[in-house]
Each structure stands twice: as structure tokens, then as C-alpha cells.
Chains A and B, each alone.
Chain A
């Protein structure tokens, strides 16, 4: 039996158009990098009205109609159960917080910060870069490097680029990004982002760390940045790999706060 070959043989070599576009694309990317993302700023300014319309549509009653009712009901049941457990665990929290504030006041170290509420225009799962775009721009009193927190008080990243009416936030969990943190009795460690709100840390096996331990930023008002999820170690290895998860779901964030001053 003969199979008639439909293909006329090997396709011609790649056209010059492709090579031209390739050079153009990399030139734009390199130019953008060298000019502190000037091209990106212009593009985001042009596109941000579309994101704002989308954010309003999703949060409107018409937008929520399209979500599955069953999924929502399941989620409600699961959250109610979690809430009941958390309430019990948090009974002591107000007492400890009040005691902490009194001690700081006694030692003359009162902390307060001003925050700006922002809407998340593009969540991190949309773009694959572990960044998110918020609707706070250069016109607001924010600066590059400003810490962005999610409710209730979980720091998630810092402002990397400011556009006219939006800002690009790089998450602490950005793959490869290193963040200094502390755990237990203020023992220091360096978090290495592995994407999606997760971190990885290599610690000597002699250091005692447990699943559920809280990881905080090294500030006077310590903010929780992660919780130890699992620990991998083997007897032959001098180090243990600690996997840390963000205590919140960064993919479902709709509002964040930017700390504008301390």
C-alpha cells in the first residue's frame, strides 16, 4: 500500500520576517529593562482602564451570578468549619496583643503606619510572573519598595514599578527572590521564593523547626509572612529543606493595602 505524501518536503527555511521580529522583540525588551520599564509603564497606562472595568464587572452582582452556586456553598461550609477552629485558637490573641502594645509603650517604641487601600487589577495567577498589578499610581503618596500587605496584616510583596495610575507589585514568593525573615525566638533565616505564595529554606539539620511554625519579617511590629508547611530531610543530608506557605491565598486577592509611612 502506498501512502501519498502530501507534504512537499521540508518547509523552506525560516523567513526573514521572523528574524526581524525576533531582533525587534528582544530590542524592545532590553530597552525596557535599561530604561526602568518605561515601555511597560506606557503600555500599562493604556491597558489599565480595561482592567478596571473588568474588576468592577467581576465584583458587581451580575458578575457574581456566573460563579457556580454549588462551589460557593461548598466553600462556605468549609470556611465555617475553619472559622470555628480558628476562633478557639485565637481566644488568647487580644490579650497577648494588648500586653505587647503596653510593653512597647512602656519602652517608648510606639509603632503606627498609614495605609492606602488598593484594588488588585491583575492577580498573580493571570501572568505567570508572580507579580500583581494594583490601582495605586504615582499620584498617590507611595514609593518604590513600599510594602504591600493583604488582609489582615500579611505582607505579600513590594512595589517594583510605579505607573501613572497603577503599580506593579513583586511578591516575596517570586521565584529566586530572597527575603530576610525570622522564626521562633527571632532566629534569622533567608526565604527563597518558589512562586505561588510559597518559599523554600535550606537550614542545617541541627536547627529545630516544626511544621506550623510562624515566619515573620524582622520588624518591630512583626508581620507574619509564612507558615512552615512541610520539612524534608534525610539522615545522609546535613541540611533540611523547609517548605513555607503563605497564610493567605494570593490568587484570590481582590484588595490589598500599601504601607505609606511608619
Chain B
């Protein structure tokens, strides 16, 4: 239930609130398992507000940042002793 609320909040914040609020919600979401909606949210943010003139501009985007956060969260979940990995 909390995850659903956070996911809805993420997408609403992308439309209505500053980007750093969306980032904070995304980090909370990534604490749970496999929060793929973070990737969708970052893609939405880039498509709505980005101004990519060339393919190299895509490398500096919220999508890339979300991918890196997702990977970091994935490895941290495995490394933390007290994280409930069930």
C-alpha cells in the first residue's frame, strides 16, 4: 500500500513539484525491491522537460541518473547485513 502511494506521489510530483522532491520519493521507493516505476518516472521527466538536441545529450539525463540509483540500491540491498532480503 505504501509503495502504491509512493508511486502515485512520484508521478504527481514529476508533474507538479520540483525535481528534487521527485528524486527524494524515488530514493524512498528504491529502498523496496525492484522499483521499476522509478525508471518510468525519470523517463517521463526527461521527455516532458528535457531539451536533447543530440544523442550525446541523453547521457546527461534523469534516466541515466535513475539507472545508476537503481543499480546502487540493488547492490546495497545485497551488501547490508540487516536488510531483509526475503
Chain A positions within 8 Å of B, measured between CB atoms, are: 3, 5-11, 14-15, 17-18, 21-22, 25-26, 28-30, 32-34, 37, 39-40, 43-44, 47, 50-51, 54, 122, 125-129, 131, 133, 160-161, 168, 170, 174
Contacts and interface: CB of A to CB of B under 8 A. Distances in A.
A22 B64 CA distance: 9
Nearest to B62: A128
Contact of B47 (A21, A34, A43): A43
A126 B39 contact: no
A129 B50 contact: yes
Interface string B11-40: 000011111100000000000001010011
A126 B62 CA distance: 13
A47 B63 contact: no
A30 B55 contact: yes
Contacts of A9: 78, 85
Given A18-B70, A33-B54, A128-B19, A6 B82 contact: yes
A124 to B, nearest CB: 9
B49 A129 contact: yes
A40 B81 contact: no
The binding surface of chain B is classed by DSSP as helix
Contacts of A161: 51
Nearest to A168: B51
A7 B80 contact: yes
Nearest to B39: A21
Interface in B72-86: 74, 77-86
A40 B39 contact: no
B69 interface: no
B63 A26 contact: yes
A30 B58 contact: yes
Nearest to B44: A43
A52 B4 CA distance: 26
B56 to A, nearest CB: 10
B61 interface: yes
Given A25-B63, A43-B44, A126 B55 contact: no
A6 B45 contact: no
A22 B52 contact: no
Contact of B77 (A11, A22, A26, A126): A11
Contacts of B74: 11, 14
Given A22-B39, A50-B15, A127-B19, A28 B49 contact: no
Contacts of A125: 18
A54 B58 CA distance: 29
A131 B57 CA distance: 15
Given A11-B85, A33-B54, A51-B15, 14 more contacts: A3-B81, A7-B80, A9-B85, A15-B34, A21-B36, A21-B39, A25-B39, A33-B57, A40-B48, A127-B48, A128-B20, A128-B62, A129-B50, A160-B51
